[in-house]
Structure 1
């Protein structure tokens, strides 16, 4: 993984290039969270770019360490779409909404966006989709890490007020533990009612 996509987007010529990724399309509960990251290679600690990778391949403690360094040395913003928005607009549209909010939250106008996936959301700048971008593009990998750390922390906080579902472990995903808790305890306000396992639990 290198800086080639950012360079192609004009980063070396002074254009502001942001990497965007989202976390949380699949869970039964909780918001979908996106991050936008503008890398600052000269300000980043030595070796940090070599540690950037798809967030799913990194241990939680490593993700948290890298996310902290990115927040300190790069331009980073988060966006999210609520459970209500997911249920209203569907998860794809809600994910795109979270991505747009992340870009708008950067505090600086991006000239170009590199987006993980195969569908480009409506953004305030031009952009390019990169399938598997979190494993190919440095700024997208950075965004995947920042978004994952942020969303995991949200779910751990929610787990404190909604015990029994195991959100501090499963982050709202459809694990056997989570589905069993749905059947036993029912759905919370944080469950996505447009997702079949939640609908089935409510109907039973």
Structure 2
């Protein structure tokens, strides 16, 4: 038959088909569907004829299936062999369980305006970690403007529009992190000119 696709016939089926009378009117496709042809996309598969009958072969398959169903899983000490060990975390780990961070900055809304991006990321991380909010822009409910700049006239306008706005240095956020509480911003206010 077609060697390009690696189509081969099962020799047992071929032997049975040769004993069976096939009407001449059947097409090749009908013969293939009736003869249980083994179709594969690679090398042609070869089937060696066994001296045992089909009944013995089926019994062996049933016996193997029963043995596999009743078999105990193989236990391995190697984590490479046991996929579930790689996924499931057992125990707290080598440093102990993770503790929940305090949320002392829950009432803090900050807008960060610093020149160094590493410092901005650090400040943002601390504020968010302690349940504070970082505003992308200066909003009317923003409570702190964190800046490393000297006083600017725009700070006066912002402060005039929002009386509760505190304009503080980045050190205020860092000190809140160290003390684990919102500290009085008085010592960290940006001095106005």
**Under a length normalisation based on structure 2, what TM-score does the superposition of the two structures give?**
0.18
Q: Greater relative contact order: 1 or 2 (C-alpha under 8 angstroms, separation 6 or more)?
A: 1
Give the TM-score normalised by structure 1: 0.18
**Larger Cα Rg: Structure 1 or Structure 2?**
2
